[in-house]
Amino acid sequence: MDRIEIEQCYLGSLLHSEGKPETRLNVKDFQSPANAKIFRAIYDLWDNGVQPDLTTVFHELPGEASRIQELTNTVSSAANLVYYEDQILLASQKRNIETELDLFRSTIETSDNMALETNVNDLLLKLEKIKFAGTGKKPWQTGKTARQIMKADYPPLKWTVEGIIPEGLTKIDGAPKMGKSWFALHLATAVSCGGYFMGSEKIKQCKKVLYLALEDGERRIKDRLEKQGSISNDNLTFITATTWEGSLSSLKGYLTEFPETGLVIIDTLYKFCPMEDSNKYSETYRAVSAIQKIAIEKHISIVLIHHTRKGSGNRNGETSWADEGMGSQGINGAVDTIIQLRRPDGKPDGEMIIKGRDVEENCYNIAFNADICAWKITGKGNIIKERSMPPEQKRIYDLIVGAGEVGITASTIAGFLGKKQNTVLNTLKRLEDQNKVFKTGGRDGVYSCSPVHSCSQSE
């Protein structure tokens, strides 16, 4: 559907509206001048106390009779009015941005450095204005006071699985081949058709589920559904690696077309949104935040399947269990809930550890039933306690804290402590693995506090 057709669908929806809807649009947002005239005529009628319909709009615009007649044939109701409005607003913003960028390109060719800085600042202000054009508010006018927030009534938090998976973005990680996909499949079938999840958590409300099985084909999915004894139902949709050609925009499109969807499972994160540098905080945070934004806006649960780093899961206490996922801490910073599955190789029993913005930190003992290929909660476990740094790590870490944003080299640390440089490098590598410091430069490198882990003397 092109932009002109979307405008026609929006105008057709207006003619099906029983009352005057609030709108964020104005005539300048329409690409077609004829559609802009019809939009103005419809709202002028409402402003004058007249209900717009074919007859009244014909009377206002006799020269547009055939076009107006087409509008009521494009849509049958006003059900998707807001969606069409969003699309028109987005298209208008893109056109305005392209216009400003073209103007900017034409001016910078002859600008000196001072004029260039002025032009850049002007461009940023214009882009900010375009961004908030559809809200009717300036950026600083969108806030609410503490009094307003405390007096407001907000709907209670919705749970997909009570006490385990709330609405928002949840990351489930664990070692490769330890049962994460079995966990996710059981979650999908339980939520889509009801029953119990993990043997004890009753699903209170069935929801439509989308499962992006980006590491599997349909044959494997069928085999796994049969092994779990799943009930055949139309509430659960699978899209596999061979058929998924989309990205974030495709997920948004799916949820717009199927708004009753309550749970999305993405297996796995890196298959869904490949990253050039998964250890770069800004890149991972930006990518995962975009997914989290969809979950919050749609009031649904989105679950990401992820892997832990090699050698994690030993409960040595040198790092938080939640920091053991692959990639930078930007991933943890963006998600709302973190769940980790652990079990020793070849053993049926393990642990499920949970913490999040809306979930108290908990540990459950779990067991994998090989007969039905599903996890079951067997009792409460013990929260993993973090251990303070070993003394040698602490001395090096404190030097990096003291260096501040400037940082400090490995050779300087070695000289200050009277240690061999290789010994210092080995300790620095452990601190890097724990996401407590980061390094720039070559082998010697400059070490400073990670953008995520704010260095402090309280470590």
355-394 residue pLDDT tens: 898 888 888 899 988 888 888 988 887 765 545 567 888 8
Residue 300 has pLDDT above 60, yes or no: yes
Q: What is the pLDDT of residues 436-453, one digit of tens each?
A: 777 876 666 788 864 433
The tokens for 333 are 């910073």
**CB-based contacts of 150, cutoff 8 Å, min separation 6:** none
Judged by phi (left if over 0) then psi (alpha if -120 to 50, else beta), residue 365 lies in: beta
- Would you state the pLDDT for residue 315? 46
CATH of 159-380, one of 3.40.1670.10, 3.50.50.60, 3.40.50.2300, 3.40.50.300: 3.40.50.300
> Is it true that domain 391-449 has CATH number 1.20.1260.10?
no
Residue 320 has pLDDT above 70, yes or no: no
- Would you state the pLDDT for residue 170? 95
- Would you state the pLDDT for residue 36? 92
Domain-wise residue ranges, the chain: 1-153, 159-380, 391-449
Residue 65 has pLDDT above 80, yes or no: no
Q: Decide whether 159-380 matches 391-449 in CATH topology.
A: no
Mean pLDDT (whole number) for 36-44: 91
**CB-based contacts of 323, cutoff 8 Å, min separation 6:** 329, 332, 434, 435
CA torsion, points 67, 68, 70, 74, in degrees to nearest 10?
120
CATH of 1-153, one of 3.40.50.2300, 3.30.70.20, 1.10.860.10, 1.10.3720.10: 1.10.860.10
Mean pLDDT (whole number) for 27-37: 90
Mean pLDDT (whole number) for 408-432: 85
Q: Which residues of 380-415 are buried (b: 16+ CB within 10 A; e: fewer)?
A: ebeebeeeebeeebeebbebbbebeeebbbbebbbe
Residue 139 has pLDDT above 60, yes or no: no
**CB-based contacts of 296, cutoff 8 Å, min separation 6:** 167, 168, 169
